[in-house]
Amino acid sequence: MIGSETAGRAPKRVSVLGATGSIGTSTLDLLARDREGFAIEALTAHSRVDDLIAAARRLKPAVAVIGRADLYPALKDGLAGTGVEAAAGHDALIEAAERPVDWAIGGIVGAAGLEPTLAAARNAKVLALANKECLVCAGAVFKQELARHGTALVPVDSEHSAIFQVLAGERPERIERLILTASGGPFRTLTRREMADVTPAQAVSHPKWSMGAKISIDSATMMNKGLEVIEAFHLFDVPEPRIDVVIHPQSVIHSMVEYCDGAVLAQLGEPDMRTPIAVALAWPDRMPTPVKRLDFAQMSALTFAAPDEERFPCLALARAALQEGGGVPTLLNAANEVAVQAFLRRDIGFLDIPEVVERVLSVCAAPVPRTIADVLAIDADARRCAEAEIGACARTVVAAPDKSRML
């Protein structure tokens, strides 16, 4: 059915960065449904070499790249006889990302995606951006790079895709407020005392969305919504006080825009990332997807509540970082990435994540980044500082095992 839409047109040339992740596999699912409509240039992954081999055998990109150089022999073997070029290592990943395409998706997680995503932006007509950390850590510098190359930026994050859709044809100066919806994550109703003991397994099991580990933890701390406020600021040029967050546990409304006449426009749909990916893939057109349709007659109430910034301090930390500007969001992002990894390794507790971020923001310097090299230097500093804070947290946990219960 999808194929009939594109029959007779030249195939769209596409690259998928982070092809083995949650965003990557949802993208590949859409691409696989229309083999005539899309020609795949590059698929990239970091370490899941078997998944990359399987995807490359199925979709026949021109090149498949694994970030970890030590996995090259496995990739080469796995692709033998397929005609798909195998490559490995950081430089190969950048080279593959740089290949000219009509459309590339940035589906790498974290600031590690910054350089590959910018490489893709150099020669892609459209950059579909899922990797919100790029905008959080590099903001203005990232946008300048895109402008320099004339690359169109289409958001994939569901909230930003919703806003992008409801803004179509509207005048930006008529926007009064952006309203980002948030599911509230798996710990929406927990007290802080209860949160002190949660495990990584509990934190990654999101009630509504199936996603990678890092964004799932970010959703549980609500740092994800904080990162999304910063992302919305950069994408839509709306100042921080006019970007609201509302808890909407059903995840049916993906976000809203309020205009100067009081009208609020919303975008609704099932919580399935294939819709926002398809919006970006077909933009400025639309394409059919197999996503389940909303059944309004079966739908229970849609509910809304204000976020609780005391139980979820990450949201306020992100807002404060955006207000301070300069390199502070870069610090916030890097500290959060390091803290989330430490929590996943069980080196720190769940409530230590905002503590580590707050400490890094208070002790690290954050000059205004003018170049990507500046961003990477601030990011590296913040990571060193966060590791030191985590060492201190871990020592405190050993000295007083019950500390977390008292928070």
Residues near 242 by beta carbon (within 8 Å), at least 6 away in sequence: 175, 176, 177, 178
CB of 227 to ligand NAD, least distance (A): 7
Site for Mg ion contains 337 (CB under 5 A):
no
- Dist CA 125 CA 216 (whole Å): 30
**Judged by CB under 5 A, does residue 352 bind Mg ion?**
no
Instruction: Report in angstroms how near the CB of residue 47 gets to ligand NAD at its nearest.
Output: 6
Q: How far is CA 324 from CA 9, 27, 128, 242, 300, in A?
A: 48, 35, 28, 16, 41
Q: Provide the mask over 136-175, with x wherever binding to Mg ion is found by CB under 5 A and - wherever it is not.
A: ---------------------xxx----------------
Residue 28: other Cβ atoms inside 10 A: 19
132 binds, among ligand NAD, Mg ion, none (CB under 5 to 8 A by kind): ligand NAD
Contacts of 384 (CB under 8 A, 6+ apart): none
| Residue 22 in the binding site for ligand NAD (CB under 6 A) | yes
Neighbours of 293 (CB within 10 A): 8
What are the tokens at 226?
A: 């904080």
Residue appearing with tokens 């546990």: 249
Binds ligand NAD (CB under 6 A): choice among 74, 209, 320, 392: 209
Of 345, 156, 187, 232, nearest to 337 by C-alpha is 345
* Residue 18 contact partner, candidates Mg ion, ligand NAD, none, CB within 5 to 8 A by sort of partner: ligand NAD
Question: Which residue minimizes CB distance to ligand NAD?
Answer: 21
Asked if 18 is part of the footprint of ligand NAD (rule: CB under 6 A), the reply reads yes
Instruction: Find the shortest distance in angstroms from Cβ 226 to Mg ion.
Output: 11
Q: Is 212 in the site for ligand NAD (CB under 6 A)?
A: yes
Our CB check for ligand NAD shows the closer of 251 and 404 to be: 251
Q: Residue 343: CB partners within 8 Å, gap ≥ 6?
A: 200, 203, 217, 349, 350, 352, 353
30 binds ligand NAD (CB under 6 A): no
Show the site string, 57-96: x = touches ligand NAD by CB under 6 A, - = not: ----------x-----------------------------
Rule CB under 5 A: is residue 218 a binding residue for Mg ion? no
Distance, in Å, from the CA atom of 308 to the CA atom of 75, rounded to the nearest integer, reads: 47
CA distance 2 to 32: 10
Name the residue nearer to ligand NAD (CB basis): 24 or 349.
24
**Number of other residues whose CB lies within 10 A of the CB of residue 261:** 7
Residue ranges in 224-253 that form contacts with ligand NAD under rule CB under 6 A = none
In terms of C-beta density within 10 A (0-12 exposed, 13-18 middle, 19 or more buried), how is residue 90 classed? Answer: middle
User: Which part of the chain contacts ligand NAD (CB under 6 A), choosing from 71-79, 130-138, 165-173, 345-353?
Assistant: 130-138
Interface of this chain with ligand NAD, residues 103 to 122, rule: CB under 6 A: 107-109, 112
- 132 interacts with ligand NAD by CB under 6 A: yes
**Contact positions vs Mg ion (CB under 5 A):** 157-159
**Contact positions vs ligand NAD (CB under 6 A):** 18-24, 45-46, 48, 67, 107-109, 112, 130-133, 157, 209, 211-212, 214-215, 273
